[in-house]
Each structure stands twice: as C-alpha cells, then as structure tokens.
Amino acid sequence: MNKKLRLKIIERFGSQAEFSTHIPEDETVISRVVLGRRKLKPAKEKLWAEILGCRVGDIFTDASRTTNTK
C-alpha cells in the first residue's frame, strides 16, 4: 500500500472519491494505485503530484513504480 499517496489524498481532498473528481480519474483506478495493484506512467505520476501539491518523489517511490499491473 502506498500510504504516502493515500495520506496526501486524504489531507488535500478528504477522500479518494473527491480526488477522482479533480483528476479526472475513476475512483477504482485511484484505489488500485494506492493499494499497489496498478502503476501509473510517469506523466500521470507527475499530474497526480501537481494536483496534490507535492513532488513525484514525495508520493511515488521506486517500489511503487515496479509493482505489476493487473
């Protein structure tokens, strides 16, 4: 689980559902990324970080980038 990402989403938007309205991205995609079941392309990581007001490295680690997608 990507706890840093989850905490940043909650801190900034209150819920993953609310965050999904600002990306826009389906809430299930956000959940899968947070749970480590899906990875994002670098461009999406950058977009998410910008929307969350942080750097990519603050919320995505090398481990989260190498997780298999399903």
| Closest by CA position to 30, among listed 11, 58, 2 | 2
pLDDT value for 62: 66
pLDDT value for 29: 97
Query: What structural domains does the chain harbor?
Result: 3-64 (1.10.260)
**pTM for the predicted model, two decimal places:** 0.83
**In the block, residue with structure tokens 């977009």:** 47
Instruction: List, for residues 15-68, the tens digit of each pLDDT value.
Output: 999 999 999 899 999 999 999 999 999 999 999 999 999 999 999 986 544 444
**For the chain, percent helix, then strand, then coil, each to nearest 5?**
65, 0, 35
